[in-house]
Structure formats: structure tokens, C-alpha cells
Chain A
Amino acid sequence: MSKEKSIKKQYKKRGQMAETWSRLKQQPLAVVSLIVVAFVLFLAIFADLLVPYSAAITQNGMEKLLPPFSPGHLLGTDNFGRDILARIIHGARTAMEIGLISAGLSIVVSTILACLCATVGGWLDNIIMRIVDVISCIPQLVLALAICSALGNGIPQLVFALFFTGIPMHTKMVRSVSLTVANMDYVESARALGGKKGYIIYRHIVPNLASVIIINGTAQVSMNIMMGATLGFVGLGVKAPTPEWGTMLSEGMNYMLRNQHMVIIPGLVLAIVALFINSLGDCLRDAMDPQLKGRA
């Protein structure tokens, strides 16, 4: 009896997540990217404990445009005398809020839409896909610009714009995968056994979409962070004193000739964060689908 149990335990099938995790741990790049992303998340969550918010927005006429490595200001100050390091740290919070919430929302909504398309099909599929076609004909940035200009500045508006523009691409992608899944034999047999649509979606289709969702979701987070910064750069992002990397860049542009640090630092941070989120996504893809490894 006990022997049987131990055998069972030994051969117990590990879940997909545990399997993925163990493969992910073996890739050095994945570990590095995870550490960097975790570090940025740490900065975002504990921004207030690291540097008080007031340091990021208090203007100080005495210490304008100090270069990096000045005493008390590791990364220097901007044209209002605000500490750039503090603004970068609090900007991480803004960026993460924008990137994670908007990408998360658009993934949830587009997965639901895609599952409906794949299982209900027919007219519903037609309507959803035609709407998606229409939205995806407008360049993403232009659509986001239009939404932001109509709704005004602020984080919720920005999140909504990015959420809305992210839907079409995901819906297309997730739909094509869920159509393949919906035609699998096990879904057919579940249907033959009398499984309801909701049950089939929840139990059979969504678990098989997990890898697509996670991989695309990671890419979407970095894309949305970048897009948020882009909108901030043209002055449509967050409200004025809120520290945000794109806004910092556009402020720095006016002082570019003499004080390059105001332009170089936020852009560099943005590029590094995007780079490591992207490479985390690539590693996740390799770990989830070993057959694809090294292909794309």
C-alpha cells in the first residue's frame, strides 16, 4: 500500500507551470531577465519607501540642471531642480501601473472574445472579427493618440487607450489558436459527453491557451510601457508633475544641447526595461514550447 503510494508520488505528473518553471530556471538569460524585471517591480511597489514622492516633484530653483554624480543627486537634476533618480524610481511605478493594468485588461477581454468566437462561432464570430478588422486598420499609435486627446490626460485615460488599442491584435492571435484547440478530439469528446459551452471553454480551451496568453501578454506589457512613454513624450500621457519616463524625455529635449543627461537617462532606463521584459518573454516561450526553441 505504502509502496504503491510512493510510486504514485514519484511518477506524479508535474503540472504545466512546474514544468515550465524548471525549464526556465536552466536558462541564464531568463534568470537575469527575471531578476531585472523583479527589481523594477520592487522599485515600483516600494517607491515611496525608497524615495519620498515629494522628492520627485518638489522643485528646487537652487539646484537646476545638475549633472549626474553631483553630491546628493546621483543622476543629477532636471530643469526644475527635481532629482532625476527619484523621478526615475517613481516613474517605474507609473510605467508598471500603465503597462501591467492595460495589458492585463486587454488580455482578459480579448481572451473572452476569442473564446466566444471559437466556440459560438457563426454570426457572433463574424461581428467580433469585423469590428476587430476595423480597429486594426487604424494605426495603433494614432488611435491611442485620438483616445487620449478626447479623454484628456491622466493614468486611467492612458490605461484605457492602451487597453483598447491592444484588443484587436490579441483577439486575432488568441482566436486562431483557440480555433485549433476547439477542433481537437478531446473538445469534441467533451462535447459528445454533454459538456456545456462554458465548461468546455473553462476546462479545455483556456488551459491550452495559457502559453499564448502569457507569451503575448509579456510582449504587450513592454509594448504598452513603450507606448505610454511615447504618448507622454508628445504630451498626452499623465498629468504634469507626475513622474513618467516619456514626459521626462520630452522635458529634456529642450535642454538637449547642453544637458544631455536629461534625455539619455530616461530613454536608457526605458530601453533596458523593455529589453529585459522582451527577453523574459522569449525565454518563457522557449520554456513553454521547447520545440520552438531557437526558431524565432
Chain B
Amino acid sequence: MLKFVIKRIIMVPFLLLAIAALIFFLLNLSEADPVLMMMPAEYTQEDYDAMAERFGLDKPLPEQFVNWVVDAVQLDFGTSYKSKAPVADEILFRVPISLQLAVVTTVIMIVVGVPLGVMCAVKQYSVFDQIVNVLSKFLAAIPGFWLGLMLILVFSVKLRWLPSHGMETWKSWVLPVFTFLLPYLGNYVRQVRSAMLDCIRQDYVRTSRAKGKKEWKVVFIDTLKNALLPIITLTGGTFATMIGGAVMIEQVFAFPGIGLKVLEGINNRDMPVILACSIILAIFTIGAQLIIDILYGFIDPRVRSTFVSGKKKNKVAKPAAEGGVQ
């Protein structure tokens, strides 16, 4: 088990390096000259060269990238083209804010979504199931940022119950969290339901029912326990997509997280900022994936047994720990 985890962790820096390289060269496809954008209206060639040298832009691209990586390892993400301040100072304090938003939303999603999904599966084709099904399809089709605008319109502008932006009191978290939650919740409930349905007709469920176990025990212990693996994959996958989706939510609610910064960076063509934000968002995604894999190891006896005491026992195919279970 430990070996498995260590193996995954060793991969992380290489993944990050590859991601950084990809984004770095993608951003450099742009024809706009970053040095030119930073220069005042009138400048001399010396000024230009000085500015290029200050930001390390006079060197060839591969060298720029290597320099960036060496600095980034020491948590120095370069200097913002726009504000001329160190990027790390502008970004690192935003990490907990974004993380908090995503985690709070995910926790609410689990607390609300799993019971709803289980209820739907147990009472398949009932009125309740149909209503949840239709509702979740509607929710999945609504663009998150538009939902945010509509909620602001109703609750901040018309009713004046909740603030539309900022993050001072708990009240200002209500709208962002709801906007964030609703589009994902529909899909989540439907997938939990289908994971439950896959298990609910299995022979072992029938057996335990035949043995006269209480119905709630059959549902929550025999069925849910077995449906847990796809649900964990699903939760992790949703968390990973949420991290990307947060960009829009932060934009609509002017929520000072990483997402807002990345948009700011993109509007200003501020490459160090975009690069640093993308890397941090990628770390979130990889972290979520890592946690899922580790949880898998703890929960699935097949995976656990593969790594007992570092000795590979019966080689079992590793279950696909990839998102998007269809």
C-alpha cells in the first residue's frame, strides 16, 4: 500500500513539469510581444533591452522555461508583467480561499447528493425518482455563470437578502456555493443512483435480504458499501472539474480566488500569473486524483491485497481510477 502511494507521489513532479511545459509553450504561441506591452508609449532601444533583461525575456524560450522551473521550485513564480510585483505574493494567499470554496461545495454535494441518489435507486421509477431525474437534467443544462447572475438578480437585487459579492460574512458565501453546487449536483445524484442500481440487483443483496436483514441495513451496508468505489471516483472527478469551473463562479461573484486571478492574468496577457495559476489549479486536480487513488487502496480489498507488504500477490488488474464512469 505504502509503495503504491509512494509510486504515485513520485510521478507528481514529472506531471507538473510536463504541464508547465505545455502551458508555457502554448502561451508563447501568442504573437504579442510581452516586452512591448510593458513599455510606455515612447521608449528607446536601450529601455526595451533593459526591460527584456529584467524579465529574462531576452533569452531563448527553452532557457526561459528552465529558469522559470528552477525559480518555481523555490516558490518564486516570477514577476507579474502588469503589477511588477512577485507573482507568489499575489497568488499564494488566494489558494486557501479557492480551496475552501471547492471543499465546502463538495462536502455539501456529498451530504445532499448521496442520500438523494440512494433514495432514487431504492425507489426506482417512483414519482420521487422521476422528479429528481427531471430536475437534475434541468440543473445540468444551466450554465453556472448564468445561474449565478440569476441568483444575484433574485436574492441580491430584488429581495436584498444576500450580498452579491465579497466574502466578509457567511452570508456572502451562500450564493457562490449554491451557484457552484447546483449544476454539478444534478449529475452527481444521477450517477450515485446508477452506481447504486448496479449493486442493488446483485445476488449478495438478495441473499442478505433473504436472511431477513433489516431493509436499511441491506441498503446502507450491503449495497452502499459496494457502490462506494464508483461514488468516490465520481466525487473526485467532480471535484477536479469544479476547480476549473470555479473560475467562472469567482468571476461572477468577484470572489478573490485563484480563478479570478487567472482571468485577470489572461486579460492582461500576464504570462507569469497565468502559468502560476494554472500550475496551482493542476496541483489541486492531481491532489484530488491522488486522494482518490489512496482511498481506493484503503477501500477496495482487491487493490489492498495487491500491495500487501510490498510483495505483489495475485496480480489483479488495477481498476480504472479514471473519471467519467459511463
Contacts and interface: CB of A to CB of B under 8 A. Distances in A.
B158 to A, nearest CB: 10
Of listed B31, B266, B278, residue having the most chain A CB within 10 A: B266
B141 interface: yes
Contact count band on A = 35 or more
Contact of A234 (B31, B194, B263, B322): B263
A226 interface: yes
B149 A256 contact: yes
B contact patch SS: helix
A191 B240 CA distance: 40
Interface string B233-260: 0000000110111011001000000000
Contacts of A150: 26-30
Interface in B53-102: none
A58 interface: no
Contacts of A263: 146, 149-150, 153
A141 B141 contact: no
A134 B124 CA distance: 39
Nearest to B275: A146
Contacts of B251: 234
A49 to B, nearest CB: 28
A235 interface: yes
Contacts of A172: 322, 324
B143 A226 contact: yes
Interface in B149-208: 149-150, 152-153, 157, 190-191, 193-194, 197-198
A180 to B, nearest CB: 11
A142 B277 CA distance: 9
A260 interface: yes
Interface stretch (B16-24, B41-49, B213-221): B16-24
Nearest to A285: B326
B90 to A, nearest CB: 17
B116 interface: no
B226 interface: no
A271 B278 CA distance: 28
B305 interface: no
A133 interface: yes
Given A145-B266, A146-B274, A222-B141, A139 B22 contact: no
Contact of A135 (B22, B28, B124): B22
7 contacts: A140-B241, A141-B247, A149-B266, A267-B146, A270-B146, A296-B194, A296-B326
Interface of B: 15, 18-19, 22-23, 26-31, 124-125, 137-138, 140-143, 145-146, 149-150, 152-153, 157, 190-191, 193-194, 197-198, 240-241, 243-245, 247-248, 251, 262-263, 266-267, 269, 274, 277-278, 281-282, 285-286, 289, 320, 322-324, 326
